[in-house]
Amino acid sequence: MNFSAEMIAGFLNGTIEGDPKVEVNNIAKIEEGKHGMLSFLANPKYNSYLYTTESSIVLVNKDFVPEKDVKATLIRVDNAYESFASLLELYQQNRFQESGISANSFIAESAEIGENLFLGHFSTIGNHVKIGNNVKIHNNVSVGDNVTIGDNTEIRSGVSIYYDTIIGKSCYIHSGTVVGAEGFGFAPQSDGKYKKIPQVGNVVLGDFVEIGANSCIDRATMGSTRIADGVKIDNLVQIAHNVEIGNNTVIAAQTGVSGSTKIGKNCMIAGQVGIVGHLTISDGTIIAAQAGLSNNVKVPGKVMQGSPAMELRNFQKSSVYFKKLPELAQKIQELEKALKALEIDR
């Protein structure tokens, strides 16, 4: 489908410099743009590409001042990056317009289904499930008994949603994710064996939650594992039983959060972070990549780094000494030799 500069500017409330009738039908990075494509420029590092790109339309910030002539039609907007993200969302919606219920799928008679459900091949809907309007459930998805799924949520292929899970509106769950599997609960016995502890709680996802591919969110032992509105979780993330994550927190890939930890609002947790159980992490905390957090973060807005994690300033000071450890060790060895020599001389 073709979009003119006029249409795009109208959608973004932008202003046009160039040909308002020029059309695009695809998107590209500014350095790879071709005729009929749309790109954006937000980072000054890429300014030079604006003068060589073959893209037909480029989004730029309103305050951007070109240094020389530009061949492309410019659309000036308040924030080029955010505007481009909005266009990507529109592009995605128009690109994939699945509809209908596959004859190869299964829906239990007791399930309550909203309007305009898309249900892919070999997907199953369990007993007493409640599904809202405009929900998309792709191929090979298993939705267990008593699950609730809110309006406009999309669930990609191969997702498993265990019984009693509650999923809010406008959520997006990527392929291979498991929501509601039993938490890792085993009690050691006197004979050295482990006895399984039944996990009888559930998982509750708020609205506008996104979960990356092959992540796992475990059901609570009792009560609920809770992921609040606006949380974004990357691929290959493990969220253990009874964890609570506050609004608009983001978690990058390969992070593991142990049981009963409470993470506040608007936190940023980078990749490969490990968080031990039963911690409380205050709002606005930032945890750097590969950190190992073993203590509560009581003050909001702290930046933590290292393993064991410490405040960023302390980590930076310590890292100066980390680099010098071989040199310091050699000096200690030399001092020990000198002391032994003094003792012999006595």
CB 227 within 8 A of CB 203: yes
Give residue-wise pLDDT tens across range 266-304: 999 999 999 999 999 999 999 999 999 999 999 999 999
Active site residues: 241
- Domain range annotation of the chain: 3-95, 106-314, 321-345
Give residue-wise pLDDT tens across range 121-155: 999 999 999 999 999 999 999 999 999 999 999 99
Backbone angles phi, psi at 340, to 5 degrees: -60, -40
CB 40 within 8 A of CB 83: yes
Q: How would DSSP label each residue in 141-194?
A: -EE-TT-EE-TT-EE-TT-EE-TT-EE-TT-EE-TT-EEEEPP--EEE-TTS-E
pTM over 0.75: yes
Give residue-wise pLDDT tens across range 68-93: 999 999 999 999 999 999 888 877 76
Helices (runs of H) and strands (runs of E) counted in the chain: 4, 39
Measure the CA dihedral 124/212/221/192, to 10°: 110
> Distances from the Cα of 149 to the Cαs of 3, 120, 123, 180, 305, in angstroms?
34, 16, 15, 13, 37
Domain 3-95, CATH among 2.40.30.10, 3.40.50.920, 3.40.1390.10, 3.30.413.10: 3.40.1390.10
Burial degree of 210 (CB within 10 A; 0-12, 13-18, 19+): middle
CATH class (in words) of the domain with range 106-314? mainly beta
> Distances from the Cα of 324 to the Cαs of 305, 310, 315, in angstroms?
19, 19, 14
Radius of gyration (Cα) for the chain, nearest Å? 27
Give residue-wise pLDDT tens across range 177-226: 999 999 999 999 999 999 999 999 999 999 999 999 999 999 999 999 99
The secondary element (H helix, E strand) that includes residue 262 is strand 262-263
